């Protein structure tokens, strides 16, 4: 069920629990600004999630309210994870779902990294 990305941050969400170590995740990267782990239901050969350490509901919330340091740290972490996974060549895809039309399900900002195989066109038009 997609979330309403305009709601305030609620720290009972599953990614907040992963950040607090209350539920396990397959940690692939961690630094001051970001944590990365494998998606539990991978949609590509490689499907990794990168989340900021700060409490932001979505890309909208993050881009409007995060500090320049948080934004730089998070963006650098996403790139670092992709490099460590060896994805720069042959290439990969980043995705951030926002709100209802974006079909965002977890209300803590996350960037999906997809790769490890050809990913096809940008958006599937025939999902309904």
Q: Which range of residues in 60-68, 80-88, 100-108, 118-126 is near ligand AMP by CB under 6 A?
A: 100-108
Q: Does residue number 58 form part of the binding site for ligand AMP (CB under 6 A)?
A: no
Measured in whole angstroms, how far is the alpha carbon of residue 59 from the centre of its chain?
9
Q: Which range of residues in 64-72, 77-85, 104-112, 120-128 is near ligand AMP by CB under 6 A?
A: 104-112
CB of 25 to ligand AMP, least distance (A): 6
C-beta of 67 vs 122, nearer to ligand AMP:
122
Site residues for ligand AMP, 108-127, by CB under 6 A, read none
Strands across the sheet with 92-95, in order?
Answer: 27-30, 34-38, 46-52, 111-115, 92-95
Task: Retrieve residue 32's tokens.
Answer: 């001051």
Q: CA 32 to CA 54: how far, in whole Å?
A: 10
């Amino acid at each position: 069920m997609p979330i309403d990305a305009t709601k305030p941050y609620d720290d009972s969400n599953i990614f907040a629990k992963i950040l607090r170590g209350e539920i396990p995740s397959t940690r692939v990267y961690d630094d001051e600004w970001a944590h990365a782990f494998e998606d539990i239901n991978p949609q590509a050969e490689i499907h990794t999630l990168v989340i900021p350490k700060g409490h932001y509901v979505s890309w909208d919330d993050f881009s409007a309210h995060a500090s320049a340091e948080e934004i730089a740290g998070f963006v650098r972490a996403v790139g670092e994870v992709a490099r460590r996974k060896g994805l720069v060549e042959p290439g990969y895809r980043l995705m951030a779902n926002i709100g209802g039309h974006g079909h965002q399900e977890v209300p803590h900002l996350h960037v999906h990294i997809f790769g490890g195989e050809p990913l096809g066109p940008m958006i599937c038009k025939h999902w309904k």
